Amino acid sequence: MFEVHGYAAHDDHSPLVPFTFKRRDVGATDVHIEILYSGICHSDLHQAHNDWGNSTYPMVPGHEIVGRVVAVGPNVKKFKVGDIAGVGCMVDSCRTCESCERDLEQYCLNHTSFTYNGTEQDRKTPTQGGYATAIVVEERFAVKISEKLDLKAVAPLLCAGITTYSPLRHWNVGPGQKVGVIGLGGLGHMGVKFAKAMGAEVTMVTTSPGKIEDAKKLGADKGLISTDKDAMAAAAGSFDFLLNTVPVSHDVQPYLSLLKLDGAMVVVGALTPLDPIAGGLLMLPRRTLAGSAIGGMAQTQEMMDFCAEHNIVSEVEVVDMASINETYERLVKNDVRYRFVIDMATMPKG
Amino acid sequence: MFEVHGYAAHDDHSPLVPFTFKRRDVGATDVHIEILYSGICHSDLHQAHNDWGNSTYPMVPGHEIVGRVVAVGPNVKKFKVGDIAGVGCMVDSCRTCESCERDLEQYCLNHTSFTYNGTEQDRKTPTQGGYATAIVVEERFAVKISEKLDLKAVAPLLCAGITTYSPLRHWNVGPGQKVGVIGLGGLGHMGVKFAKAMGAEVTMVTTSPGKIEDAKKLGADKGLISTDKDAMAAAAGSFDFLLNTVPVSHDVQPYLSLLKLDGAMVVVGALTPLDPIAGGLLMLPRRTLAGSAIGGMAQTQEMMDFCAEHNIVSEVEVVDMASINETYERLVKNDVRYRFVIDMATMPKG
């Protein structure tokens, strides 16, 4: 066991404060990563505040982690000291169930160990996240990152990136397809970049006219204002695929209407109840509504390699560790384009 | 033009009454079918009563039609006089759009001519359905029926049959899969027969314990009472595919929970709004909710051939034409196992 410095929430309403805690020693297949950057996901804030009612404290948030490998266990095959590595939303799973065997550890049938606000495979030891100077993780749950990429802007790929990349791949998005990305935030801006890089014609679907120009800078071909009834009617039945990144409960029916025969909309943002959907909208023509959660580790590596090949990173604003509480306030106001990343070199030393 | 006898609704609240009307002369690619049996679909009642607000009168309902070919146009290739033919929910479509080119005329991008309460391709001439002594239809919109089958029990295949067969095929249901059929009515009882014949393990999912034995007689392997919370919890995450035949608005969430990773539920009954669905239920694990409407003509023929091969027909109760209004009353009370069929020989002659 060794000491690391971090920031933690200690209850559902107080600010995050400096917190010194222990990581496990490096096991045979573990890598020890000195954290360089840690992205701030909106779910960090929800969990710090116990918005989902499942929070345990003290909690060190953070599941968009980029760092340098400083030690490896004797049986580690994928990494050597000095490599750049990333850790996302998971640090372990049973590794033996049907889902894990299919490299879909996020859907582990036994127990996915989430990176923080979770427990290790013993279902007792709490996990602690990336707002910290270091992490130790089994090599299967770390990905290799090309040094060619701007590392601070890589961190959000570990959650916002894979959450959007995975459904685009699963639903075979590619050239010749019309793809809509609904919502332009941390998830949506990655959805635009990936869908474009995969060869699709990309439309930003948003309530905010001002966001269309922003989306075009990220690669979108077109914009569609979802509150413009005429424009929505004109676009009805024209999309092959919609990536719905709206993070709150909403009416998905106007978006479903945009899908053509056999078109699919995948929800990646809203965990909460969607407004009622008329069965007829799914039937005529045959349409699909589906969900998707992050992505497995093999696909996360595939995404990282795709990003290196296509020079894709997130758009980020780097913040200091000590500003975390003010940064959360800005996040609540959506005052970010499109993701905050903590520079871990700014961690106050014990 | 020639005269046929039928039964029609003349407004949204009066009984159906005898109605003499005209069919078009047999065109070059038309077949003239003397109707032997006409199934009664619940949608006949909804449309006769203008429950969907789109009814036009006079209306001769009926879109589950089986009869004998008594004349064919000079360019007809598929039929000869004496053949048994069936007509379902459609009598025409544009035949040239992307959907029609894919043999999915029910999703015609221009105008599907529904068998009744619709219009021909001129979008003016009303169509009239199968509660009548004869129909004239373009040969593309008729299917060949094996005389080996019990013809009165074949009629419901034209709507209830194809509505359930099509999604089972589209979603590749087959051996090694666990399939649930939700609801045991006109649609559900066909879903059980088809899923079983396709090689799946079939579970009847119902609120009514009494229906499980009935479903087993039709081929179901197991039953699951959807109001039994313990049984539902034990079955969570275990189904590959669910065919949801519930005809009214309802909460699909308990059923979604039954699906395993990448499992799909297809709604074929409820056109109206489904209760709110938590996005998280679609995300964890990755699940799909889709819709499906009847099936294209090529697939309807495929289904008829499948039925001949596997000796599959509907379970029917034959009624007289003159009893139609009493029969509708029994339908409202669900007093049918599982489909009423009118014997057209009982049509009162004008």
Tokens of B261: 């990773």
Check: CB of residue B93 under 8 Å from CB of residue B113.
yes
pLDDT of A9 reads 98
Closest Cα in chain B to A261 = B107
A81 in contact with B, Cβ within 8 Å: no
Terminal-to-terminal C-alpha distance of chain B: 17
Q: Which fold has domain A2-159+314-346?
A: Quinone Oxidoreductase; Chain A, domain 1 (3.90.180)
B263 in contact with A, Cβ within 8 Å: no
B248 in contact with A, Cβ within 8 Å: no
Interface test with A, best of B286, B287, B289, B299 (most A CBs within 10 A): B286
CATH architecture of B161-291: 3-Layer(aba) Sandwich (3.40)
Residues of chain B found within 8 Å of residue A293, distances taken between Cβ atoms: 283-286
Nearest to A267 among B274, B279, B290 (CB): B279
Q: State which CATH number among 3.40.50.920, 3.90.180.10, 3.40.50.150, 3.40.630.30 fits the domain covering B2-159+315-346.
A: 3.90.180.10
pLDDT of A350 reads 62
Closest Cα in chain A to B246 = A279
Report the distance separating Cα B297 and Cα B158, nearest Å: 10
Element (H, E) at A227: none
Q: Is the peptide bond before B57 cis (omega within 30 degrees of 0)?
A: no
Nearest to A289 among B272, B276, B282 (CB): B282
Each residue's pLDDT expressed in tens, for chain A with a length of 350 residues = 999 999 999 999 999 999 999 999 999 999 999 999 999 999 999 999 999 999 999 999 999 999 999 999 999 999 999 999 999 999 999 999 999 999 999 999 999 999 999 999 999 999 999 999 999 999 999 999 999 999 999 999 999 999 999 999 999 999 999 999 999 999 999 999 999 999 999 999 999 999 999 999 999 999 999 999 999 999 999 999 999 999 999 999 999 999 999 999 999 999 999 999 999 999 999 999 999 999 999 999 999 999 999 999 999 999 999 999 999 999 999 999 999 999 999 999 76
Q: Is residue B322 classed as helix, strand or coil in its secondary structure? A: helix
Report the distance separating Cα B195 and Cα B201, nearest Å: 8
A99 in contact with B, Cβ within 8 Å: yes
Report the distance separating Cα B203 and Cα B253, nearest Å: 18
Would the CB atoms of B273 and A277 count as touching at under 8 Å? yes
- Other beta carbons within 10 angstroms of residue A11's beta carbon come to 12
Question: What residue segments make up the domains of chain A, in order of their start?
Answer: 2-159+314-346, 161-291
Would the CB atoms of A291 and B287 count as touching at under 8 Å? yes
Check: CB of residue A287 under 8 Å from CB of residue B291.
yes
Q: Produce one character per residue of B56-76: b if its CB has 16 or more CB atoms within 10 Å, e if not.
A: eebbbbbbbbbbbbebbbeeb
Residues of chain A found within 8 Å of residue B264, distances taken between Cβ atoms: 288
Q: Is residue B65 classed as helix, strand or coil in its secondary structure? A: strand
Q: What is this model's ipTM?
A: 0.94
Terminal-to-terminal C-alpha distance of chain A: 17
Report the distance separating Cα B20 and Cα B60, nearest Å: 10
Instruction: Specify which residues A242 forms β-bridges with.
Output: A180, A265
What are the residue ranges in chain B where pLDDT is below 70?
A: 350
Closest Cα in chain B to A285 = B107
Interface test with A, best of B102, B281, B283, B288 (most A CBs within 10 A): B283
Report the distance separating Cα B286 and Cα A290, nearest Å: 7
Report the distance separating Cα B34 and Cα B136, nearest Å: 9
